[in-house]
Structure 1
Amino acid sequence: MQRITRLAAQGDGLTEQGSAVPLAAPGDTIDAAGEVRPGPHRAVPPCRHFPQCGGCQLQHVDDGAYADFLVDRVIAALHAQQIDTPAIRAPYLSPPRTRRRAALRAERQGRGVRLGFNEQASRQIVDLAECWILAPPLWALVAPLRTLLATLLPARSVGEVQMTLTDQGVDLRLAGVAAEGLAEAEALTRFAETHRLARIAVDAGHGAETRWEPQPVTVTLGGTAVGFPSGGFLQATADGEAALVAAVREGVGAARTVADLFAGLGTFALALPGRVLAAEGARDALLALKAAGAGRIVADHRDLFRRPYAPAELARFDAVVLDPPRAGAREQVARLAEAPGPRVVYVSCNPATFARDARMLLAGGRRLAWVQPVGQFRWSTHVELVGVFDSPAATPG
C-alpha cells in the first residue's frame, strides 16, 4: 500500500516513493492492484468536463490540499536556488466563477462551432456545456458566440475569442474570423447591442480593428478609471487583484517615493502612496496610465530588458515594485541588487524565475522577509505571489 503525500508541479499525486499518480490527492492510498482509494483531501470535481478540459487541473482536491500545493511550488522553486524557506503566508484563493478574462478557442465544424478551452496536453477543443471558473457575464456569452461565429468562421477553420470584463461590460476580441462584408458588420453590431458589450474588435490577421465601442472602455484600478486597450492585460480576478495590491501596499509601507517597474496599466502604481515613477515598455498601456495618473505619477516608456535602470537611479527611491512577465526581470534585478536602500516588492506569476531573481537580491544583501501566494487561477497549477525583500540597511545583524 502506497500513500500520496503531496502534489507535483503539474498536479499529479506523488507517493512516498516518488511515483507520480495522475488525478490522485494527498492522503489517497494506492493498493497492490494500483487502484486509488480516496483519502481526506479528495474532492468531487464540480464540472462535467474535468479532467479533459485544460482550464483546470486540480478540481479533485480540496482547498486545503490546493493551498498546500501553492506553498509547495514556492518552496520548491526557492530550494532549487539554495534559498532557505522564508515566512510564507496562507495563500489567498479566488472563489469559483470569478475569472474576468479568458481566451477560448473556436472551431467551425459543419454548421456548428465548438467553443472552449483546449483539452489537457492537446489542441482538441472542449465544447463547453458548463464552466466553473468564468465569471457569469463571460459565461453568458458562450452560447450566443457559437451562433455568431457560425457565420464568421470560415469552414474547417479555428479562431480565438478573448473576453475581458471592464467597467462598461465585456470587451470582446475575435481573431481568425472573416467579417469584411456588410452582413457581417451588421451581425457584429446586433450582437454588441443585444449583449451590451463594451467593445468588439476583430483581428483578421493584420492587427485588431475596433468594430464597436459606443464609449471609451475603462477598467478601475486603485479607484481610478483607466483607458483599457483592446487585448490589454488585467489581473485574472478582481479579488485576486485586491489580494496582490494589499500585499504590495503592505510591502511598500510608508515609502514616499516608489518606482513601479513593468507597471502595465497601473494596477499597483495607482494604489500606491506618495510619488510614483511608473515604467512600462508597452506604449498603449503606458499612455493610458499616464492619462489616468496625471499629476502624481511620472510615466516612463522604457524597455526594462534592454534598458534597465542603473543602481544610482534606483537608489533614489524608498521602495521598488516589480511585476515582470513570466520570464522574470534578470537584467533589471541585477542592477537593483547593487542599489542600496530601496525595499523591493516583487510580484511574480512564475515561482522559478522569481527564485532565480531572488537569489541575486539576497546576494546583494537583502533579506526575503515574507511571501504571499495568490491562487487566482482557480484549480490550475498556476501560482502567483508577492515577495518582500528588506533593504540591506534593514537586514538584522
Structure 2
Amino acid sequence: MSATHTLVIDRLGHRGEGVALVEGKPIFVPATLPGETVAVTIEGNRGTLLDILAPSPNRSAAPCPHFPACGGCQLQHLSAETYSQFKRSLVVDALSRAGVAADVNDPIIAYGAGRRRATFHATRSAAGFMALRSHQIHDLDRCPILVPALAQAPRIARDFASAVGPCDVAFTASDMGLDVAVRAKGTKANPKLTDLARAFDLARLSLNGEPLIIHRQPTVTMGRAQVPLPVGSFLQATEAAEAALAELVVKAVAGARQVADLFCGVGPFALRLAERAAVLAADSDSPAVAALDAAKRKAKGLKPIAAEKRDLFREPLGPFELNHFDAVVLDPPRAGAQAQIAELAKSKVKTIAYVSCDPQSFARDAATLVAAGYVIGPVRPLDQFAFSSHTEVFARFERP
C-alpha cells in the first residue's frame, strides 16, 4: 500500500491541477487549490488526492455529481473569481514567456446554453468521458455542460455501442436536429443502426466517416446563411462563442473592403464578413470549403466570397497575394499559423484579426508579428469550455 504524504499546494498548473513541491520537484494533484493542505499518495510526479486537510477559501462546491471522477472537467472546484483569474493567467503567462507585452482582459464568458458538440466513448454498459487519469469510461446519466438537445446523448451512445460494440459517438446539435457520427473498428452498416436513427429521430447518422442515413441535412445558421455541415465538421463548441468571436472579428476589420479569412472552416467569420466586404476564404478542409461555397450561393445580400481549398501550412499566402487585402483574419488549429504568420510579417497588410484556441501557439505567432512592427491591441481570452483548462484567445494587430 502506498504511503500517505501531506502536501501544501503551491499553485495551479496550466492543466488546472494543483502543484506541490517535494524535494524541489513538482507533484501534480487534481482537484486541489493553491494554499490547501492535502493528504495524497504519490506515484512518479502524480499525486492522488485522499483528503483535504485545510481547504482554500476559494474552493467551491462542484455543480456536477460526477466531478472529479469524470475526466471531462478539471475546474469545477474553483470559485468564480479564482476560475476567471486562472483562465486569464493562461494567456498572460504564455505571452510573458514569448516576450510579448500586451494588455490581457478578463475572459469573455461564452457558455450560452452549453456545448453543442461532444464525443462520448461507449460500450454496452457505459458511455461518457474517460475517468480521471484512466482509460476506463466514466458512465454518465447526463452532462450539465451540454445543450439541452444533447440530454439523451449518453443513452444514445450506449444503444449504438450495443449495436456495434465499443465505439466513439460524436454528437452535434444542429438546426435540424442531432447529427451523430459513430466510429467503430471493423463495423459495417446493419439494420440496428438505421432503426436507432429513426427511433431517436436523428437528422443524420454517419458510420466511420460516411453518411449512413439522412433524414434531414444538418445545418447551422451563420449570419444570413444556412451552412450544410459536413460529417465531422469543426464548429466552435458553443453557439455563443461563435457569435462573440465573430463580433470581435467583424469589429476588428471594420472598414476593410477586401478581407482574407484564412483557416476559414465552414465560414463562421467569412459569411458574416461578406455582409460588408469581399472575402477570400481559404482552408485545407475540402468538405468545409465546399459547405461554405454552398451556403454563400443560397444566402442573400452578401458580397463576393471566393472559397478556396489551400494548405496554409505548406502553401501560405505570400506578400504579393496578401498585399491585395486591407485585413486578414486567422483562426488556425491548435498548432497555430507559423508559416502563414512568417509571410504576414513580410507583408503590408494593415490589420490582422487573430483567433486562437491555444495560448502557447498564439503567443509564439504574436511575437513574430510584433517583431515585424505590428502593434498588438488588448488581448481577449474567451471561455467557451466551462470547467476545463482550455481557453480561446482573440487579438487585433495593426501595422502603424
How far residue 5 of structure 1 moved from its aligned partner, in angstroms, is 6.8
Contact 1:24 1:36 in 2 (8 A): no
Residue of structure 2 equivalent to 1:90? 106
Query: Which residue identity lines up with residue 99 of structure 1 in the other structure?
Result: R
- Choose from 321, 329, 336 the match for 1:321: 329
Structure 1 gap ranges (5+)? none
> Which residue is equivalent to 2:238?
237
- Bigger shift: 220-229 or 319-328? 220-229
Q: Is the 8 A contact 1:247 1:372 kept in 2?
A: no
Gaps of 5+ in 2: 1-5, 41-50, 298-302
Q: 2:294 aligns with which of 291, 295, 301?
A: 291
Aligned residue number for residue 31 of structure 2: 23
SS at match of 1:132: coil
Q: Tell me which amino acid in the other structure corresponds to 2:370.
A: L
2:43 aligns with none
Cα offsets for 1:240-283 (capped at 9, x unmatched): 11121121122212211110000000011111131111011111
Query: Match for residue 223 of structure 2?
Result: 222
Give the Å deviation of 1:31: 8.0
Residue 363 of structure 2 is aligned to residue 351 of structure 1: no
Task: Give the C-alpha shift of residue 22 in structure 1.
Answer: 3.5
Given that 1:177 and 1:202 are in contact with CA atoms closer than 8 Å, whether structure 2 keeps it comes out as: no
Partner in structure 2 of residue 280 of structure 1: 283
- Paired position in structure 2 for 1:386: 394
Q: What's the CA shift for 1:174?
A: 0.6
Structure 1 residue 337 and structure 2 residue 366: aligned?
no
Q: What CA distance in whole angstroms lies between the structure 2 residues aligned with 1:374 and 1:5?
A: 26
Counterpart among 121, 131, 150 of residue 133 in structure 2? 121
Which position in structure 2 is the counterpart of 1:12?
A: 17
Q: d(CA) in 1 for partners of 2:140 and 2:19? A: 30
Identity %: 40
1:219 and 1:226 map into 2 onto residues whose CA distance is: 5
Matches within 5 A, 1:1-397: 6-14=11-19, 21-26=29-34, 28-30=35-37, 35-84=52-101, 86-95=102-111, 98-107=114-123, 112-153=124-165, 158-176=166-184, 180=188, 184-185=190-191, 187-203=192-208, 208-272=209-273, 273-294=276-297, 296-391=304-399, 393=400
Give the C-alpha shift of residue 63 in structure 1.
2.0
CA distance in 2, matches of 1:125, 1:97: 25
Q: Distance in 2 between matches of 1:144 and 1:327?
A: 33
Following the alignment from structure 2 to structure 1, what is the Cα–Cα distance between the partners of residues 159 and 240? 32
Distance apart, 1:180 and its partner CA: 4.1
TM-score of the aligned structures, taking structure 1 as reference length: 0.88
**Alpha-carbon distance between aligned partners in 2 of 1:35 and 1:134, rounded to the nearest angstrom:** 30
Is the 1:277–1:300 contact (alpha carbons within 8 Å) kept by the matching residues of 2? yes
CA contact (8 A) 1:67 1:93 kept: no
Task: Mark the CA change 1:36 to 1:23 in structure 2 (over 3 Å): closer, same or farther.
Answer: farther
- Residue 335 of structure 2 aligns to which amino acid in structure 1? A
Instruction: Measure how far apart 1:25 and its partner are.
Output: 2.8
Q: Aligned-pair RMSD on alpha carbons?
A: 2.4
Letter in 2 for 1:195: F
